[in-house]
Amino acid sequence: MTRTVDISVVMVGMNTRDYVRHALASLARSDWGRFTSEIIYVDNNSQDDTVAMIRAEFPDVIVVANSSNRNFCSAANQGSQLVNGRFLLHLNNDTIVEPDAIAQMAEFIDQTPNAGVVGCRLLNPDGTDQWSARSFPSWYNSFLGRRSTLSRLLPNWKIARDYLFKDKIVGEIPFQVDWTGTPCMLVRRENFFRVGGFPEDFYYWHEAVFCNRLARQGGEVWIVPTARVIHFEGKGGGPRPYSVRRWHIIDFSRGAYRFYCERHSLHRLNPVRWIAAAGLAAHVALSLFINWIGSFKEKRTWRALP
């Protein structure tokens, strides 16, 4: 007999055994309130005994062990097909959830009929914000993104604060946003499948694509800022030498371009597409150069170690 639960947690990972252990341990310590749960972990062919660790230490977790790396969106959709919950919680494997975070998010989505997606307040390990409340990108996105130079130089500039919802994320009142990320994203099950799940032809920007498609069908995206989750950003996919970072830089900008065109329905001959492509190409070239210089510094540091 199929067991019906309230929340199905879906996690994806590869070669991050210790982070997975901490993430699952935090879920085991969580106060789920009135909500029942299940956890599904999809492993993308880890070679560090992640699967064996989960089966030995967390026997209640449903493990899907892939024989190859299916990438995040495909694996997340794969795990989502197995759920029995009313809600899907897509949670990164490099997170630590505070005890009542999931219950708070579930209470809000359960009581807010138009809420299709609910996110939380993501924090770095040192307690600083990762700015999990996002606006959809515009032509000035590269200047005001959470990692942009301008946002770092002028963090209190009103336009930058509004773009990243900086004043609201530190408050206690839930608020509506354009999109939030999969490090911790609670979704109504029917909404997830109604828009086809995560777009498997995207790596970066899949969350924005998903939320945009959901919004076009009337779904709202909300943040519950009192629900807090620590995110070891960039650790869930394993080490990132320069060759890996190069791929991430290129794919990030390619995804941004494709999402921008989809969101604004720009046909192939629209000159705005050309301008956006030229601007992103310049941004990629600069980012690759900076990372290439940084790779030499990393090599010198490594050689200097005793």
Which band of pLDDT confidence, cut at 50, 70 and 90, is reported for residue 148?
low
**End-to-end CA separation in angstroms for the chain:** 59
Using CA atoms, how far residue 185 sits from 54, 76, 79, 80, 97, in Å, is: 22, 12, 15, 13, 12
Contacts of 71 (CB under 8 A, 6+ apart): 44, 200, 203
Q: Whole-angstrom Cα distance, residue 122 to residue 183?
A: 8
CB contact at 8 A, 80 and 186: no
pLDDT in tens, 48-97: 999 999 999 999 999 999 999 999 999 999 999 999 999 999 999 999 99
Least confident stretch, 3-12, 237-246, 254-263: 237-246
State the DSSP string of the chain: -PPPEEEEEEEEESS-HHHHHHHHHHHHH---TT--EEEEEEE---SSSHHHHHHHH-TTSEEEE-SS---HHHHHHHHHTT--EEEEEEE-TTEEE-TTHHHHHHHHHHH-TTEEEEEEEEE-TTS-B----BPPP-TTHHHHSTT-HHHHHSTT-HHHHHHTTHHHHTSSS-EEESB--TTEEEEEHHHHHHTTSS-TT-BTBHHHHHHHHHHTTT-EEEEEEEEEEEE-TT-TT----HHHHHHHHHHHHHHHHHHHHHHTT--TT-HHHHHHHHHHHHHHHHHHHHHHHHHHHHHHHHHH--
| Residue located via tokens 């069908």 | 217
Which band of pLDDT confidence, cut at 50, 70 and 90, is reported for residue 142?
low
More confident residue, 146 or 286: 286
pTM beyond 0.75? yes
Q: Residue 90: how many CB atoms within 10 A of its CB?
A: 25
Which band of pLDDT confidence, cut at 50, 70 and 90, is reported for residue 253?
confident
